[in-house]
Structure 1
Amino acid sequence: MKRLLTWLLLCSLSPLAQAFDLQQLSDQLARPDVIHGQFIQEKHLRALPQPLVSKGRFVLAKNQGLLWLLQTPLQQDYRITAKGIARRDGSTWQILPNKSAGAQQNRLFLAVLQGDSSGLQRDFELNLSGEPQQWRLTLTPRSALLKQVFNQINIDGGQLVQRIELLEAQGDSTVLLMRESTSTQPLSEAEQHDLAE
């Protein structure tokens, strides 16, 4: 009887032991060396009836950074690395000021895509639900400064991040849909050059 009770107790605890946690999510998102994909960004502004939509492609390289290549409604290339954010100006990259809310958002975005949960935990309360193939990570700001910018950030994914929703404090929101993401293609020579500058 004692053995049966022990077995039942272990069975009831086993789902807890198997729960998908932040470390597993970080490991999963950090696994690919390079991710290529398409994105659609919808900016929902309270003052406009329709969202502002932009489209493009992205390249994320582990330990190197992110190329964010906007294609419509205008063409503009951005590079986000640990050194900061740069915009392509002709054949060179111009470093942008690091003080803006947009810079904070881009650093946050890089941390999310790279699975840097320790970096995120400094600034946000993290709540993860789901399983490796279908999960949601909810970020709630800790600091008064971030609370002035965001109410909440929701990130959905499977093997890779698929959707990011930024709910801003003043009522606007941004939805990023990451499409056709693949981790099987290496960096091209041009991409290596852009990330190495």
Structure 2
Amino acid sequence: MVASLVLLGFSSLANAFDLQQLSDQLAKPSVIHGNFIQEKHLRALPQPLTSKGTFVLARDHGLLWLLKTPLQQDYRISAKGIARRDGSAWQMLPGKSAGAEQNRIFLAVLQGDSSGLQRDFELSLSGEAQHWTLTLTPRSMLLKQVFNQINIDGGELVQRIELLETQGDSTVLRMQDTTSANPLSDAEQHDFAE
């Protein structure tokens, strides 16, 4: 049995899609634009809470998360933290919240930062470059209190993220109409620069 597994491992080694290849693939585009649909499934509610919007992921700057419905709210997530647009200015949000940790993880996922994720999660990758699934299982007690697991599916780019929480709630995030063909607009550059 072990010998056949070893042989199988060696025979597929040349074709295996690994974490480094996934990281390289996700880190390649300098700018990604797209739409998102987020469904928050709460045990107490029969229907999920759904929000929609657009996003801009810029490798050297971070993420603009522009919520359109059910309410309009813009967020900027970067290495400095999370900021929310308040009128024409960005206001930094407190950094020691569960939401801040979720957003840090989210940014690492979208940017293909597997080394950052490996600090906090056991990573299990299956599939190939154009159709893969990455499963994150929390390592730390803090994250184990929040998440059972995180499932990420994609192709060239991330397409779906599912957060399974310990209390039975879950969030499904679908990234749609993503493209890496367009550079940052002047307005997006301004939003990242503030």
Note whether the superposition's TM-score is higher than 0.5: yes
The corresponding residue for 2:47 is 50
CA distance in 1 between partners of 2:41 and 2:141 (Å): 24
| 1:41 lines up with 2:30 in the alignment | no
CA deviation digits over 1:151-182, x for unaligned, max 9?
00000000000000000011100000000000
**By how many angstroms is 1:99 displaced?**
1.1
**By how many angstroms is 1:14 displaced?**
3.4
Structure 2 unmatched ranges of 5 or more: 1-5
CA distance in 2 between partners of 1:10 and 1:174 (Å): 39
The corresponding residue for 1:28 is 25
CA distance in 1 between partners of 2:114 and 2:60 (Å): 15
**By how many angstroms is 1:11 displaced?**
9.5
Provide the secondary structure at the position in 2 that maps to 1:148.
helix
After TM superposition, the score normalised by the length of structure 2 is: 0.95
CA deviation digits over 1:54-90, x for unaligned, max 9?
0000000012100000000000000000000000000
**By how many angstroms is 1:10 displaced?**
8.8
Amino acid at match of 1:133: Q
Distance 1:11 1:148, change over 3 A: closer
CA deviation digits over 1:130-169, x for unaligned, max 9?
0000000000000000000000000000000000000001
The corresponding residue for 1:90 is 87
| 1:147 lines up with 2:144 in the alignment | yes
Structure 1 unmatched ranges of 5 or more: 1-8
Q: CA RMSD in A?
A: 1.4
Correspondence list, 1:44-193, <5 A:
44-193=41-190
**By how many angstroms is 1:12 displaced?**
7.9
**By how many angstroms is 1:17 displaced?**
2.5
Amino acid at match of 1:135: W
The structure having more radius of gyration, on CA atoms, is: 1
Provide the secondary structure at the position in 1 that maps to 2:136.
strand
**By how many angstroms is 1:189 displaced?**
0.2
Amino acid at match of 2:64: L
**By how many angstroms is 1:196 displaced?**
1.2
